[in-house]
């Protein structure tokens, strides 16, 4: 179970979240994002690629960006093509009890689909921090 389950539940219920995605030193604008909790194709909790831990249920993010320059980064981000398997940081803001907080999600890429005008990234959330 994730450390900040309540935070993730709140985020998954939010509509029109404004998010950015940071990969190393570059930031990408996210046009649309959805967050859901669903099963992961593992039989028991495990460490994926020796990099991050996943349980049988996890929060997943579908993020769409129109910044096609991200396609050059994808091979460095997915387990398989890369042994480094770098994290992707998703940043957003969430108002809790009338106070705006920054939320930082550490994610890893599980799948990417690109078309001529957008890139859809499927991510698994490893960590959620409220600032």
Contacts 24+ apart (CB under 8 A), 71-79: 71/114, 71/119, 73/23, 73/26, 74/109, 74/112, 74/114, 74/119, 77/23, 77/108, 77/109, 78/109, 78/110, 78/111, 78/112, 79/48, 79/49, 79/51, 79/108, 79/110
Contact in structure between 112 and 67 (CB atoms under 8 Å) = no
Which of the residues in the chain have pLDDT under 70? 1-3, 40-56, 79-84
Residues 15-43 have pLDDT tens digits of 888 999 998 889 999 999 998 887 765 55
Which one is the CATH code of 5-130: 1.20.1540, 2.30.110, 3.90.1570, 1.10.3470?
2.30.110
What pLDDT does residue 1 have?
Answer: 35
* Domain edges within the chain: 5-130
């Amino acid at each position: 179970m994730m450390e900040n389950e309540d935070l993730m539940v709140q985020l998954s219920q939010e509509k029109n979240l404004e998010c950015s995605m940071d990969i190393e030193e570059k930031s990408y604008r996210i046009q649309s994002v959805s967050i859901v909790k669903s099963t992961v194709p593992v039989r028991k909790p495990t460490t994926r690629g020796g990099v991050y831990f996943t349980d049988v249920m996890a929060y997943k993010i579908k993020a769409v960006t129109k910044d096609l320059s991200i396609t050059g980064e994808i091979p460095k981000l997915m387990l398989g093509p890369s042994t480094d398997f770098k994290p992707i940081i998703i940043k957003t803001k969430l108002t809790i009890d009338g106070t705006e907080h920054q939320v930082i999600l550490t994610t890893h890429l599980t799948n990417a689909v690109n078309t001529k005008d957008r890139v859809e990234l499927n991510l698994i959330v490893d960590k959620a921090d409220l600032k």
